[in-house]
Amino acid sequence: MQTEIISIGDEILIGQVVNTNAAWMSQELNKAGFEVIRITTVSDKKNDIISSLNDAQKRANVILLTGGLGPTKDDITKETLCEYFNTELVFNEKAFKQVENIFYARGFKITEINRQQAELPKSCTPIANPNGTASGMLFDKNGKIFISMPGVPFEMKTMMTESIIPKLKKQFHTPAIIHKTILTQGKGESFLSEIISDWENKLPENIKLAYLPQPGIVRLRLSARGEKYKPLNKQLELEIKKLHNIIPKLIFGYDNDNLETIVGGLLKKNNKTLSTAESCTGGYISHLITSISGSSDYYSGSIISYSNEIKENILGVSKQSIIEHGAVSKEVVTQMAVGVKNKINTDYSIAVSGIAGPLGGSEEKPVGTIWIAIATPEKVVAKKFLFGEHRGRNIRKTALMALDMLRKELLAEKE
């Protein structure tokens, strides 16, 4: 069912507020089988709202509006809807009771301005707002549904979940839609698309693929559409299985997974501990790991050896190796990994040393040159990478690559 969202509010148009409402609504609508075909943000001006309504109803059967229902002068959605649907405001006893209840619960006194919030367009069906004083409104015009909600996120969300989506599902027959995101690490978008192009070309008509790249990660989103949920899910699972057979090593998770959670889960499951020794990432790997609640169960800590003195004095890297090979070398990163693992006494360790940039590059070791080492209970593996020129992205890419290398070692040990 074709659906549009109209977000009303100057605060979005000047960039002061990010339109997270529309993103949340889109997700919920899609899950319920309503296809959002357009999101429009307009100002708090009558003509803009009316023109966006006019355009939307030409394309969609369901139009959801948020914003402009507050008690102050710049909130003009209600009067605008009266004009658009050729109706008038009337006092609504039930809506007023709701306003009264909320004020009573908060210990506030009702003012004239709040009383006005209980005036609603005569031709609308009111929609209860359990968390606020602005009622929602549903208009049915020639089988097209228009619903206006407040822009306050937690008010809008409760109304959507409790009233609006159930109402819409009842009124319209919606198809089954399933989205599944496959998370990959290790190859850029264009390389990945070459490797999986055969599989991509053979995807059934009703399954669409989208590439969603982020620094260090490419997410592949599959969207399947069909009549019934169960066979559709089976069909989708089959395609994911095929993909997994092509790139088993590149896939690290699905949907909202992330590497720090996955690695943490593996360590915890195997009852193993981890430490890190970071040079160019400057604590970012440690930050990712400790952003997960409960990480102290498996993570002991880190030595951030930004200076060579720390590499030598605390991690025990040999001065000779630094002089001969440089701090960004296989020799040094390997000694860092072994050093921190022994010093902090953990089962595994990660060590990184590189040139994050933009300064410090040379012809032999340009900016973006990174060495990563993983020490396991049995061995040390070290690998060299050449990332880009952007400091922040190099730090992020290095951290994700290091976590993914550790993930592979943890999985290999298990086998």
Residues 225-264 that bind its own copies (CB under 8 A): none
Nearer to its own copies, 106 or 414 (CB): 106
Where in 261-280 is the site for its own copies (CB under 8 A)? 276, 278
161 binds its own copies (CB under 8 A): no
The answer to whether residue 301 forms part of the interface with its own copies (CB under 8 A) is yes
Strands in 369-375's sheet, in edge-to-edge order, are 274-278, 348-354, 369-375, 380-386
Nearest distance in Å: CB 250, its own copies? 16
CB of 239 to its own copies, least distance (A): 16
384 near its own copies, judged by CB under 8 A: no
- In this complex, which beta carbon is closest to its own copies, that of residue 47 or of residue 125? 47
Helix (H, G, I), strand (E, B) or coil at 127: strand
199 binds its own copies (CB under 8 A): no
Give the integer Cα–Cα distance in Å for 342 and 325: 23
CB of 279 to its own copies, least distance (A): 9
Shortest Cβ 85–its own copies spacing (Å): 22
CB 337 within 8 A of CB 375: yes
- Two structure tokens written together for 141: 């015009």
Q: How far apart are CA 147 and CA 125, in angstroms?
A: 9
Size of the site for its own copies (CB under 8 A): 110
Stretch that binds its own copies, among 119-127, 230-238, 328-336, 386-394 (CB under 8 A): 386-394
d(C-alpha 9, C-alpha 167), whole Å: 26
Cα 351 to its chain centre, rounded Å, is 28
Task: Out of 204, 231, 377, 388, point to the residue binding its own copies (CB under 8 A).
Answer: 388
Q: Which stretch binds its own copies (CB under 8 A): 90-98, 121-129, 239-247, 391-399?
A: 391-399
Is 113 among the residues that bind its own copies (CB under 8 A)? yes
Tell me how far apart the alpha carbons of residues 273 and 260 are, in angstroms, rounded to a whole number.
14
Interface mask toward its own copies for 322-341; x: CB under 8 A: --------------------
By CB atoms closer than 10 A (0-12, 13-18, 19+), residue 150 is buried
- To the nearest 10 degrees (0 to 180), the angle between helices 77-84 and 46-59 is 50
Residues 305-324 binding its own copies (CB under 8 A) are 305-307, 309-310, 314
Figure out which of the listed residues 62, 63, 222, 344 binds its own copies, where binding follows CB under 8 A. Answer: 344
Contact 8, 77 (CB under 8 A): yes
Chain residues 2-61 in contact with its own copies, contact rule CB under 8 A: 10-20, 22-30, 36-43, 48, 52, 55
Q: Which of residues 207-226 bind its own copies (CB under 8 A)?
A: 208-213, 221, 223
Neighbours of 335 (CB within 10 A): 24
52 by DSSP, 3-state: which? helix
**Dist CA 190 CA 386 (whole Å):** 17
Query: Is residue 255 left, alpha or beta, with left meaning phi > 0 and alpha meaning psi from -120 to 50?
Result: left
Q: Does residue 85 interact with its own copies by CB under 8 A?
A: no
Which residue from 87, 114, 206, 270 is in contact with its own copies, where contact means CB under 8 A?
Answer: 114
Token pair in block for residue 108: 């506030």
Q: What is the 3-state secondary structure (H, E, C) of 247-281?
A: CCCCEEEECCCCHHHHHHHHHHHHCCCEEEEECCC
All residues at 6 or more sequence positions from 368 whose CB lies less than 8 Å from its CB, including other chains: 354, 355, 357, 361, 385, 386, 387, 388, 389, 394
Exactly one of 205, 294, 378, 415 binds its own copies (CB under 8 A); that residue is 294
DSSP letter assigned to residue 271: T
Q: How far is the CB of 45 from its own copies (least distance, A)?
A: 9
Q: Cβ closer to its own copies: 75 or 404?
A: 75
Task: Name the segment binding its own copies (CB under 8 A); options: 89-97, 106-114, 119-127, 229-237.
Answer: 106-114
